[in-house]
Each structure stands twice: as C-alpha cells, then as structure tokens.
Structure 1
Amino acid sequence: MIPQLVTYRQRRADGRWLRLYVPVLPVLLVLSPLLVLAVLGGLVACVIFHISPVGALRGAGRLWCALPGARFEIQDASMAVSVSVR
C-alpha cells in the first residue's frame, strides 16, 4: 500500500501549532515529470558507481511501501517538528 497522506506539524516559538495535510497522489501526479528525471538520474548514478539498477529500484520500492505508519519527530528548546505518513 502506498502512502496516502502526509501530516506536517510544527510548533512555533509562541507555542501555536502549524498543521499541513498533504495528499500524496495529487502531489505525485503534479511532480511526475520530475520523478521521471529523478529515476533516469538515479539509473545513471547506478551505472557510474557500479550498482545494480534493478536492486536499487527494488530497494526504493521497498522503502516506498514501508512508509505508511512512519512517524518522524524532532524537538528543540522552543520548536518541534512532527511528520506522520499514513
């Protein structure tokens, strides 16, 4: 299952939270021309560094499928950032 929603939360210095809900599919469709260029650039990098392109694509696919349910949190003295992938 691919991720469907990314939630970004940031606590500002005044204590209020900024929340952004980003749907993955529309963003992916808008950025698809850049995604094709990124895949081609990755394949060229695999050839340059002598890495199996099939293995690299398989690993990227496994990482993409493992993203749903992931949660990243960073907290500093006056600011906190939380990213949740659903």
Structure 2
Amino acid sequence: MIPQLVTVRSRRRNGRWLRLYVPVLPVLLVLSPVLLLAMVAGLVACVVFRISPVGALRGTGSVLGALRGTRIEIEQGRTAVLVSVR
C-alpha cells in the first residue's frame, strides 16, 4: 500500500514551526500527465539497458510501499526540516 499522507515541518526564522500536510493521492492525480511521460521514458530506458520492464515496475512498487513510516530530519544551524511519511 502506498503512503497516504506526507507531513513536512520546517522551523521558521522566528523559531516557530510551519507544518504542511500533503495528501499523496490528489498530488498523484494532478501530476499524472508528468508521471505518464516518466513511465514512457522509464520503459525506453529499460529497453535501451536491457532490463525487464515488469521487474523494474515491481521494484519501484516495493520501494514506494516501503516508504510508509519513514522520517527524515535535517537540521543545520537555525534551519530544521522534518519529513514524515504515513
């Protein structure tokens, strides 16, 4: 199952946190024309490099499924960003 919600937290200069909730499905629907072009480019790359397209799609699906529960925290100086995938 693909992730449903991505939460992005960023600390502002005044020390307060800005929290953004990004639902994955509506973003995928809006970006579907770009994703279609990316899939065609990926299929062409599979043919050029002699990779099985089915295996490549299966691997991509596995990576997307494994993203659930991922937390990425970056902090440098006064800047901090937290990305959480649910």
TM over 0.5: yes
Q: What pairs with 1:1-86 in structure 2 (closer than 5 Å)?
A: 1-86=1-86
What TM-score do you get using the length of structure 1 for normalisation?
A: 0.90
What is the CA deviation profile of residues 7-49 of structure 1, one whole-angstrom value per residue up to 9, with x for unaligned ones? 0011122211111101111111111111111111111112223
Amino acid at match of 2:52: S
Gaps of at least 5 residues in structure 2 are none
What TM-score do you get using the length of structure 2 for normalisation?
A: 0.90
Alpha-carbon offset, residue 50 of structure 1: 2.8
Q: How many residues align?
A: 86
Percent of aligned positions that are identical: 71
Amino acid at match of 1:8: V
Gaps of at least 5 residues in structure 1 are none
Alpha-carbon offset, residue 60 of structure 1: 0.3
Q: CA RMSD, aligned part only?
A: 1.2
What is the CA deviation profile of residues 45-82 of structure 1, one whole-angstrom value per residue up to 9, with x for unaligned ones? 12223322222111100011111111111110110111
